């Protein structure tokens, strides 16, 4: 079965036990969490990643869910992480930029470059 990578953004309204579900479903990835947005990459078998994203879309703890990138991959970027957590970084969009639609204007390449940078930095937690 093919592996895919999917990135979405949402406005957080609570926090769920995503690490447990990701481990159960063999999904890896990273979560960038700020007060104004979640930006998450999910990686794994296509059916598992799509099922997780569908649950996220229907979860009332996420609002304004928007898929930013989706595509096939040969290898996982965050293969050792059920969900790597990364705090807000100063080089990311400002709160004002997010409020003014930065996530709607970003390209898949731009959003994937955010996760490439997170991958190359020292981890905060697993």
> What's the confidence (pLDDT) of residue 86?
58
Q: Is the pLDDT of residue 64 over 60?
A: yes
Q: What is the mean pLDDT of residues 27-38?
A: 83
The residue with tokens 């059920």 is: 82
Q: What is the pLDDT averaged over residues 2-7?
A: 90
Residue bearing tokens 């997170």: 118
Structure confidence by residue, pLDDT tens digits, 94-117:
778 888 888 888 888 988 888 888
Answer left, alpha or beta for residue 64, where phi above 0 means left and psi between -120 and 50 means alpha: left
* Fold category of 3-120 in CATH: Alpha-Beta Plaits (3.30.70)
pLDDT score at 38 = 83
First to last CA, the chain: 27
Per DSSP bridges, beta strands 3-12 and 38-45 are antiparallel
Residues near 51 by Cβ (< 8 Å), separated by ≥ 6?
25
Encode burial over 107-117: b for 16+ CB neighbours within 10 A, e otherwise.
eeeebbebbee
pLDDT exceeds 80 at position 121: no
Rounded to 5 degrees, φ, ψ at 79 are -60, -25
How is the chain split into domains, by residue range?
3-120
The confidence score (pLDDT) of residue 16 equals 54
Residue 67: the pLDDT is 95
Average pLDDT, the chain: 82
Residue 122: the pLDDT is 57
Neighbours of 19 (CB within 10 A): 16
The pLDDT of residue 75 is 94
């Amino acid at each position: 079965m093919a592996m895919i990578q999917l990135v979405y953004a949402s406005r957080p309204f609570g926090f769920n036990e995503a690490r447990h579900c990701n481990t159960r479903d063999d999904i890896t990835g990273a979560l960038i969490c700020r007060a104004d947005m979640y930006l998450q990459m999910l990686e794994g078998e296509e059916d598992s990643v799509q099922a997780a994203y569908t649950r996220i879309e229907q979860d009332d703890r996420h609002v304004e869910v928007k898929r930013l990138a989706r595509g096939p991959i040969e290898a996982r970027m965050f293969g050792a992480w059920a969900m790597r957590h990364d705090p807000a970084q100063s080089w990311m969009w400002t709160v004002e930029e997010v409020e003014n639609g930065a996530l709607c204007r970003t390209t898949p390449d731009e959003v994937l470059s955010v996760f490439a940078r997170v991958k190359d930095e020292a981890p905060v937690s697993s």
